[in-house]
Structure 1
Amino acid sequence: MARISGVERRRRWSKEAKLEILAETDQPGVRIGDVARRHDIYPAQIRLWRAVMIEPRGKGIVLWTLRYGDEVRDEDSYFEAIADEEADPEMMPLVQQLIKKQTKDWSPKMVADPVQERLLDIIAAKKKALKQPAKAKGKSALSSPPNNVVNIMDALKKSVAAEKRAGR
């Protein structure tokens, strides 16, 4: 593993080198982690090199991966491994029945996110905990005076009384 030291600690990748590495990741069956190890870089760095477009949608966003014209392959190369065969006529009713059986109307419960729900519960509990002590402080401030306030006359009277008792 190469160690980079000195003032310049970052490697500078040329555009051509980045495109070659990105092209490697686009090959079928190739994982970004494997390509990253081969080039001694973090997988996250490869993901950062990819140009993207972000579009707001509802309460979230959609991330579109942008590609250069020479990166886009003809669809024939994707589907050349699939033979042009006719479907077995005896299997079609079975496939249609399976699709019909598995098809359901969409419901928000289908896309429940337990992590987000738990996170919202934690945030609500923390908000509730922050609000409760503030209310308790407000009530105690109205019912009794602060402990650090001293009435000078009372302190003087106690002091004089203590001297008289000690002098007897």
Structure 2
Amino acid sequence: MDALIGQIDVLMVGYAGSATLQMRNGGTVSTNSLVQSSQRQGSSALVEVDGAHSTLRGQSCFFDRVGVSTIRISNGGLINCKQSAILDAGELSLSGTGSKWLSGNSISIGNGPQQNPASVTVNEGTAKEASDAVFLVESAPGIVCSPVLNIEGWPTRGQSSLKE
């Protein structure tokens, strides 16, 4: 079943409260511009993209500006951020063969508050790809953060790559 959102510019999940967004069994959610989650103090979001052809698309994806988000891409799911992707704090995990987190330009992991550091786990058979750069600890002045990027798996390792 397709759920297509094509005439909006910004999709906000848990902007100032708590929310869950799930794409499953081939479901697709697309925006013309921005996907945002957890943008206000105390907010939280759960975003799940599960199953082959399940997709979340936006020009840019900003996860966790102040609140806490959990992003799960599994079993062939895809998050495609056509320009840039930011995970300031919270957790993003990829699991299951074929699962991908793509960004047309860069992926930034970190820059969130110390109490909610960013953590990305790329498991067996999955991939995280950016065209230009992957940034860890892109801290603003006065902010100390400890982002984590885990690449796991055997016999097929997860992949973190830059596309040329």
| TM-score, structure 1 normalization | 0.20
Which structure carries more strand by proportion?
Answer: 2
Structure ranking higher on relative contact order (CA contacts 8 Å, 6+ apart): 2
Instruction: Indicate the structure (1 or 2) with the bigger Cα radius of gyration.
Output: 1
Which structure carries more helix by proportion?
Answer: 1
